[in-house]
Amino acid sequence: MLTFKKYYLCLAVLIFVIETLIALYVHDDFVRPYLGDVLVVMLIYCFLKSFVKLSVWTAAIIVLVFSFGIEFLQFVNIVEKLGLEHSKTARTVIGTSFAWEDLLCYLSGIVIILAIEKLRRKTV
């Protein structure tokens, strides 16, 4: 079940760099909150596919369930319940504010992944 796919790891690193640049330098009302959420599911997907041999659909579903799970943990204010409200790392990784729009962004990211993977399969 474990594997190593350099292609996916390189994509994960690239997306991580983009996400970091967005977090550091983009302070708008679209790219950071929405495009960032679309990209984060792509990052998680690529990282997962780097090391675990899963079908495209299985990996996509795992990432979507994980992302939705994190968002719902934000809904119940898990950071505060765990006493981590003063931890910048916890607040950044887990997040602190639930938004329905985020769920749509995660779903959009997964749809984009599925479309790219379908196109990639046709050309490979």
pLDDT recorded at residue 42: 98
Average pLDDT, the chain: 94
pLDDT recorded at residue 84: 93
Between residues 94 and 104, the one the model is more confident about: 104
Residue 1 lies in a domain: no
Residue 19 lies in a domain: yes
Q: List the structure tokens of 52.
A: 């675990």
Residue 42 lies in a domain: yes
Compute the distance between CA of residue 94 and CA of residue 33 in angstroms, rounded to an integer: 14
DSSP class of 33: I
Q: Which of 69, 27, 30, 63 minimizes the C-alpha distance to 48?
A: 63
Residue 50 lies in a domain: yes
User: What's the 3-state SS for 32-99?
Assistant: HHHHHHHHHHHHHHHHHHHHECCCHHHHHHHHHHHHHHHHHHHHCCHHHHCCCCCCHHHHHHCCCCCC
Residue 27 lies in a domain: yes
Query: What is the arithmetic mean of pLDDT over 118-122?
Result: 91
For 10-67, what is each residue's pLDDT tens digit? 999 999 999 999 989 999 999 988 999 999 999 999 999 999 999 999 999 999 999 9
Residue 99 lies in a domain: yes
Quote the number of domains for the chain.
1
pLDDT recorded at residue 124: 61
pTM: 0.91
Compute the distance between CA of residue 96 and CA of residue 100 in angstroms, rounded to an integer: 13
Q: List the structure tokens of 26.
A: 């983009």
Q: Which domain holds residue 112?
A: 6-123
Residue 101 lies in a domain: yes
Residue 54 lies in a domain: yes
